[in-house]
Amino acid sequence: MHRLVFIFFLFSGFSSLVFEVIWARMLQQVFGTTSFAISTLLTAFMAGLALGSVLGGRLARRVGNQLKLYGVLEGSIGLYALLVPLLLGVLPSLYAPLFERFMSDFYLFSLLRFVAVFAVLVIPTTLMGATLPLVSQWLADRRRIFHGSIGLLYGANTLGACLGCFLAGFVLLPNFGLQATNLIFVAVNLALGATVLASFKMIEQSVSADALLEDDAAPEADAALTDTDAPAAALPAWALRLTLILFGLSGVVAMSYQVLWTRAYVITLGSSTYSFTLVLTAILIAIALGSVLIARVIDRVRRPIFVFAMLQALVASSATVGFYVLDRIPGFLYERARETITSVGEIYAYQLGLVALVVFLPSLFQGMSFPVVVRAVNARVEQTGEEVGTAYAFNTAGSILGSFAAGFIIMPWLGMQKAIAAMILINLGAAVVLAAMELHQHRHGPRALAMAMALGVGLTLFFVAPPIDRARLSAGMFRVHLAREVYSPKSFETSTPEILYYEDGLTATTSVERRGGGVALKANGKPEASDGADMDTQILVGLLPFVARSAFEDVTIGQEEAAMVGFGSGVTAGASLQWPLKRLEVVEIEATMVEASRFFDHVNHRPLEDPRHVLIESDGRNYLEYTPRTYDVIVSEPSNPWIAGVSALFTVEYFERVRQKLNPGGVYGQWVQLYELHPDNVRRVFATFLAAFPHVHAFSSKAKSTDLILIGSDRPLVFPPEGFERAWAIESVRDELERVGIEDITELYGLMFMNQAEMEAFAAGAELNTDDNGLLEFNAPHDLIFYSIGELFFSTHYFSGEIYGDIRPYLEGWPDEGRWTARQVARLGRAAWVAGKPELTEAILAEKNLRQARGLDAELDELLEVLEADTRAIVPAARRTFAAPADSLARLARRASDEESADAVLEALYAEEKAPRQGYSGRRGLVHALALMLSGDLKGASRQLDHLRDDTRITSTELYPLLAGQVYKTRRRYRDAYQALARAAGQPDPEASESDSRAASTPGESTP
């Protein structure tokens, strides 16, 4: 029965880790998610543990029964955990004045924040820290029964922490949320304390009975026990102090490794909450196993300092594995992603194995160190609790220092790779010092040789280790979509982007890559911006809220105060600054993002040089929570909601706070990504947004885009017949919109993805995403694996043929003929068509009875002619275009008109002349485009048609505009398609003329 002590301590570690996770998440809602805020939370937590270990060690000698006190402490932790949510509810009112008054003084503000956190956590963490020395002393007093038990006790506690980490991250928080999980573990701790108090007498009796049995069975046990289980020889005072200092240093290194490995795996596995959980779980498993393994032989260790030295050398040697493995992990992920995936669990298990490749062995040897050091410093049984507490305090203090130094000094200064190398050298240095100390006291040739060999192996592995390939490390293969849809095995192996910028920042590793002619910005391997395909989104999310607000007649343009969450490439900030606003505060959490933005100066208008721009390095949510300012416009461009921390910018609490920070008539704009997001999670985003804002609409950044811009306000958004004419009258705004192809301000109407009624219908019944349940944070990462579900759903939404994004119910004065002229209707219809919504165009014209109304307005006539040209057949036009000439190209064109022969025509063209990358010129190019289109290669056909667009001899043919219109439309280049079909509209339709002629000559008969 006495073995129950280890089970008790396993549950103790289990609940302590869960409480740490819960309380840290709760505190982040108050203090934010900047690196300094998170470090403050971790430091306060670990400082409490260190204080508790010291106090517990001193108390262990003075209490009669340490096990009974341990039960009282566990119950007390549970009772205090009941109060934590209440205390945290008071913190915001205390934190707000600190934020307002002291934020400009970084060091004083950080100190005050630490004091506030420590005041909340000091009691439970001190109680947690006191449990290990208390129970260690209880075991030491009964070491006749518990041989080598302290290492086993530490291992059980760490294993419990491992279970707590895993279950909190994968089961408890995703299913129960913060408050419910906290209450569950209040009950667990109270039950644990009650069980210990109810059973400690029986355990004592069991220990006494077992001791008597041992005495009866083995009278010689005392002699054997004295020989094998006695403490190691007492160290001199100087050696004891040095050993504890080096143990503290090992804590620095161990925590630094954890910080560095976590960053490396966040880059390779993605920045989801599950990546953090997997890394910590793997480390804790190894530490627990190491402690348990060494506990089996610790009583036979006579020279613990020598063993400690060897362990430091082994940690260093095994840590070099990272140099050989880390940049290969994206390759392993790529191969796995291309195989069949049946569940998210199998992917997370595979990722856990990849984490273990690097972290397992070093952590295993680190786990062995604690029992060995306790063996070294524990000279007297009666002082075991105090000495365990002292050793634990030194190691915890080192962990605090390592956490801070690795994240804020070493990694930003040296970079991740050199920082890992520095930790390896420190391990080797510690091993040398320990070995010298051991040999100074006990000269022993074999030990010296073994130590020299271990150091030699470590140094050899260190110096021959290859550099980490940064481009490969940040390839982003945690996105299954890339592995299956973008990269073939050959292209993945040969993909070598040029790295223009790469810095390991405080919260993320930021890189800028050039591929071909394009530049992309990445954070932890995830693309965040580019100077190509992302420009529409970056510009419109920065301008659309201002444009929408300009429709309110009572607002003044030119004196707006605005805030923006996220700087990124600076393109969005630059777009907002094209509005004649008064002040724009941009809150960016990662300083390296701002540095990297200079590689986008050619497209971002250099916002950092604009005097109206104010850069604030902080957590965007936390800043908006506590700043006393209010704004006319707020723009938020967070990354994807599956990223840990970013998901906090999609909760109802955040949206409600933003609404409170808006002035009357203010407008909020939020970037939302549809790609790699399950429809149910999109529903949650919409439902959450709708819960905070009374008037909302969703817009696409371009036709059929997977990037959305949600617009919310406290008053109904206005869509007048003239469009946003006040915004269009501002030259800088007009120029910026024209950069993304907006040729008429009414085209913004066509980009509506869902109106408010459609959003409400789509999101009906969806659960809100809150700070407590974290639905997006825990569910959205799964969508990276099963990305195709969302792709299929929204592809169906876009191409089902049904009307969506119908702005008509919200148009001012619609369909009043006095307000909506034929030209305004034509512009509205054209806006819908170039947004990829021809069904809506037809509905608009039908509702206004203008589908056959020619001659009323030139722009309406053009729209009607485009709709007619869009119905013309390509093949007859091709045959007529190449009907007269008898040359080989004409024959190939006529063969290509037979769709089954298109591939043969392509082979014939390539046999005569190899095709340049951009395509052929002249008539050969037109034949080539026709054959490519009919063979299904629309991308190639589009590129070929682009090459021909300046050749008037080709563009004036009947075939080219019809072919370009169909190809561009299929390729979602609707504006180009419209322009091409408008050119075709000016040409007569021979089929229609012939049909009309036959109908006139034979009245009453239908034309076949």
* Greater model confidence, 215 or 460: 460
Pairing label, strands 752-754, 695-700: antiparallel
d(CA 392, CA 379): 16
Q: Are 648 and 33 in contact (CB under 8 A)?
A: yes
For the chain, domains (ranges, CATH) are 1-200 (1.20.1250), 231-494 (1.20.1250), 541-807 (3.40.50.150), 822-868 (no CATH), 874-1001 (no CATH)
What is the pLDDT averaged over residues 539-566? 95
Say what the pLDDT of residue 61 is.
79
**pLDDT level of residue 269 (50, 70, 90 thresholds):** very high
Write the pLDDT tens digit of every residue in 470-489: 999 999 999 999 999 999 99
For the chain, give the percent of residues with pLDDT over 70: 91
d(CA 10, CA 1): 15
d(CA 925, CA 948): 7
Q: Are 574 and 593 in contact (CB under 8 A)?
A: no
Query: Beta-carbon neighbour count of residue 79 at 10 Å?
Result: 13
Reading across the β-sheet that carries 662-673, which strands appear in turn? 613-617, 583-588, 561-565, 631-636, 662-673, 707-713, 695-700, 752-754
**pLDDT level of residue 196 (50, 70, 90 thresholds):** very high
For the chain, give the percent of residues with pLDDT over 90: 58
d(CA 640, CA 434): 48
**pLDDT level of residue 457 (50, 70, 90 thresholds):** confident
* Greater model confidence, 992 or 630: 630
Average pLDDT in the chain: 87
Task: Give backbone dihedrals phi and psi of 20, rounded to 5 degrees, phi first.
Answer: -60, -45
User: What does the block give as tokens for 901?
Assistant: 């022969």
What is the pLDDT averaged over residues 364-382? 81
Say what the pLDDT of residue 228 is.
47
Per-residue burial over 817-848, b if 16 or more Cβ lie within 10 Å, else e, is eeebebebbbbbbbbbbbbbbbbbbbbbbeeb
Say what the pLDDT of residue 795 is.
87
Write the pLDDT tens digit of every residue in 99-129: 777 766 666 776 777 787 788 888 999 999 9
Q: Are 385 and 137 in contact (CB under 8 A)?
A: yes
Q: Return the amino acid letter for 782.
A: H
Say what the pLDDT of residue 218 is.
45
What is the pLDDT averaged over residues 838-850? 94
Say what the pLDDT of residue 295 is.
84
Per-residue burial over 614-649, b if 16 or more Cβ lie within 10 Å, else e, is ebbbbbbbbbbbbbeeebbbbbbbbbbbbbbbbbbb
Say what the pLDDT of residue 1004 is.
38
Whether the predicted pLDDT of 444 surpasses 90: no
Closest CA to 44 of 95, 135, 110, 101: 110
Say what the pLDDT of residue 539 is.
96
Write the pLDDT tens digit of every residue in 891-925: 888 777 765 688 888 888 898 888 888 899 998 99
Whether the predicted pLDDT of 579 surpasses 90: yes
Whether the predicted pLDDT of 223 surpasses 50: no
Say what the pLDDT of residue 303 is.
84
What is the pLDDT averaged over residues 667-687? 95
Q: Are 874 and 963 in contact (CB under 8 A)?
A: yes
Say what the pLDDT of residue 231 is.
55
Tell how far CA 882 is from the center of its chain. Answer: 55
Q: Are 530 and 521 in contact (CB under 8 A)?
A: yes
Whether the predicted pLDDT of 814 surpasses 90: yes
Closest CA to 450 of 349, 343, 558, 310: 310
- pTM reported for the whole predicted model: 0.90
Say what the pLDDT of residue 230 is.
52
Q: What is the DSSP letter of 811?
A: B
Write the pLDDT tens digit of every residue in 314-360: 999 999 988 899 999 999 999 999 999 999 999 999 999 999 999 99
For the ranges 38-52, 208-222, 343-357, the one whose mean pLDDT is highest: 343-357
d(CA 952, CA 960): 10
Element (H, E) at 261: helix 237-269
User: What does the block give as tokens for 997?
Assistant: 């002629």
Write the pLDDT tens digit of every residue in 484-542: 999 999 988 888 899 999 999 888 999 999 998 899 999 999 999 999 989 999 999 99
d(CA 128, CA 73): 8
Q: What is the DSSP letter of 172?
A: I
Q: Are 405 and 252 in contact (CB under 8 A)?
A: yes
Out of 211-215, 281-285, 365-369, 583-587, pick the least confident: 211-215
What is the pLDDT averaged over residues 723-752? 95
Write the pLDDT tens digit of every residue in 398-419: 888 888 888 888 888 888 899 9
d(CA 906, CA 887): 17
Task: For residue 563, give the 3-state DSSP assignment.
Answer: strand
Say what the pLDDT of residue 412 is.
86
Q: Are 980 and 865 in contact (CB under 8 A)?
A: no
Q: Are 376 and 308 in contact (CB under 8 A)?
A: yes
Write the pLDDT tens digit of every residue in 815-824: 988 889 999 9
526: left (phi over 0), alpha (psi -120 to 50) or beta: beta
Whether the predicted pLDDT of 222 surpasses 60: no
Closest CA to 232 of 99, 82, 379: 379
d(CA 620, CA 632): 17
Element (H, E) at 588: strand 583-588
Whether the predicted pLDDT of 757 surpasses 50: yes
User: What does the block give as tokens for 104?
Assistant: 């400009």
Closest CA to 257 of 440, 54, 407, 51: 407
Whether the predicted pLDDT of 260 surpasses 70: yes
Q: Return the amino acid letter for 430.
A: A
User: What does the block give as tokens for 864?
Assistant: 């009607």
Say what the pLDDT of residue 299 is.
80
Element (H, E) at 992: helix 990-1001
Query: Beta-carbon neighbour count of residue 722 at 10 Å?
Result: 15
Write the pLDDT tens digit of every residue in 612-643: 999 998 888 888 988 899 999 999 999 999 99
How buried is 807 (Cβ within 10 angstroms: 0-12 exposed, 13-18 middle, 19+ buried)?
A: buried
Task: Give backbone dihedrals phi and psi of 627, rounded to 5 degrees, phi first.
Answer: -70, 140
Q: What is the DSSP letter of 534?
A: T
Degrees to nearest 5, angle at CA 134 with 129 and 140: 135
> H helices within 442-520, ranges in order?
445-464, 470-473, 480-481, 489-494
